[in-house]
């Protein structure tokens, strides 16, 4: 394992350099970085490694395979990087249970100053369900880029299929968190969070043995864009509200617990 000049817990190194880590992940072809394992649980020691979960989109400018070395050099401790689509079924629940978005790491960092983190990864004080909804919208944009390469290209390229896994798992995980933490799916069934959550379960657990990538293609081109479109409309509605009282009333109406700090 790589060692730093001064013995320090990897969680502290990551906290100090999370901005640089986020920028490195983006530069080398990754997105949606999440910390898992002992560092995410706050159980790391000075000899621990850092486990990072990311989504990938094949891109000529990206260099995903160089990420572990680049991050290890940046932080001075060994960093293991895993693509969300490559998690083994028997480890999936455990890893996602631990996973903490880098933008939320450590959890108390949500109260850090606005200029401490890049705009695209900045933590909002709005209820977390809206942030997860924005994650779905962001994944839909990636799906649009991927599907623009044509169904034929998708069928012939396993790396595009792996990227589809990443997109569906990330969007579906956000949908799962929303449905388990509030009543938005009951108040707004038009957003179809349950359908996206089920697609994530199919991608993650490989039901029926082999994945049917035609089902994934339908999720990428129909289900995910529909959910994102309705979700973006909801986000726009809330963004137009100007007072805390209006936002709280709106949150309660759609089944989302208001954030007392908003």
Instruction: Give the DSSP per-residue string, 176-211.
Output: HHHHHHSSHHHH-GGG-HHHHHHHHHHHHHTTTSS-
In angstroms, the CA 196 to CA 234 distance is 17
125 vs 55, more confident: 55
- pLDDT, tens only, 141-190: 989 988 888 888 888 888 888 888 888 888 998 899 899 999 999 999 99
pLDDT tier, 7 (very low <50, low <70, confident <90, very high otherwise):
confident
Q: Examine residue 230 and say whether the peptide bond preceding it is cis (omega within 30 degrees of 0).
A: no
Pick the CATH number of 10-108 from 3.20.20.10, 3.30.460.10, 3.40.50.2300, 2.40.370.10: 3.30.460.10
In angstroms, the CA 140 to CA 110 distance is 25
Buried b (16+ CB within 10 A) or exposed e, 106-139: beebeeeeeeebeeebebeebbbbbbbbbbbbbb
Comparing CA positions, the residue from 205, 197, 204, 199 lying closest to residue 177 is 197
pLDDT tier, 90 (very low <50, low <70, confident <90, very high otherwise):
low
β-strand pairing of 79-83 with 50-56: parallel
Question: At residue 27, does pLDDT exceed 70?
Answer: yes
- Give the pLDDT score at 224: 94
Q: Give, in order, the Cα–Cα distances in Å from 202 to each of 60, 83, 130, 168, 196.
A: 29, 17, 24, 9, 10
Domain boundaries, the chain: 10-108, 125-253
State residue 243 phi and psi, 5-degree precision: -120, 155
Three-class secondary structure of residue 112 per DSSP = coil
- Give the pLDDT score at 262: 55
């Amino acid at each position: 394992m790589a060692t730093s000049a001064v013995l320090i817990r990897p969680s502290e190194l990551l906290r100090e350099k999370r901005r640089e880590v986020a920028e490195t992940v983006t530069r080398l072809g990754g997105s949606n970085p999440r910390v898992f394992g002992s560092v995410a649980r706050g159980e790391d020691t000075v000899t621990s490694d850092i486990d990072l979960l990311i989504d990938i989109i094949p891109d000529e400018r990206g260099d995903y395979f160089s990420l572990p070395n680049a991050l290890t050099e940046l932080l001075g401790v060994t960093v293991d990087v895993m693509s969300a689509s490559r998690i083994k079924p028997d480890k999936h629940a455990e890893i996602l249970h631990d996973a903490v978005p880098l933008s939320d790491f450590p959890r108390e960092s949500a109260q850090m100053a606005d200029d401490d983190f890049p705009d695209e990864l900045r933590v909002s004080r709005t209820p977390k369900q809206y942030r997860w909804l924005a994650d779905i919208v962001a994944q839909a944009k990636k799906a649009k880029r991927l599907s623009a390469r044509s169904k034929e290209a998708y069928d012939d390229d396993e790396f595009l299929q792996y990227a589809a896994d990443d997109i569906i798992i990330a969007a579906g995980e956000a949908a799962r968190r929303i449905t388990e933490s509030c009543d938005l799916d009951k108040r707004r069934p038009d957003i179809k969070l349950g359908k996206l959550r089920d697609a994530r379960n199919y991608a993650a657990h490989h039901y029926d043995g082999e994945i049917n990538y035609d089902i994934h293609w339908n999720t990428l081109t129909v289900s995910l864009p529909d959910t994102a479109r309705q979700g973006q409309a909801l986000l726009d509605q809330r963004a137009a509200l100007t007072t805390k009282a209006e936002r709280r009333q709106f949150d309660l109406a759609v089944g989302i617990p208001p954030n007392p700090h908003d």
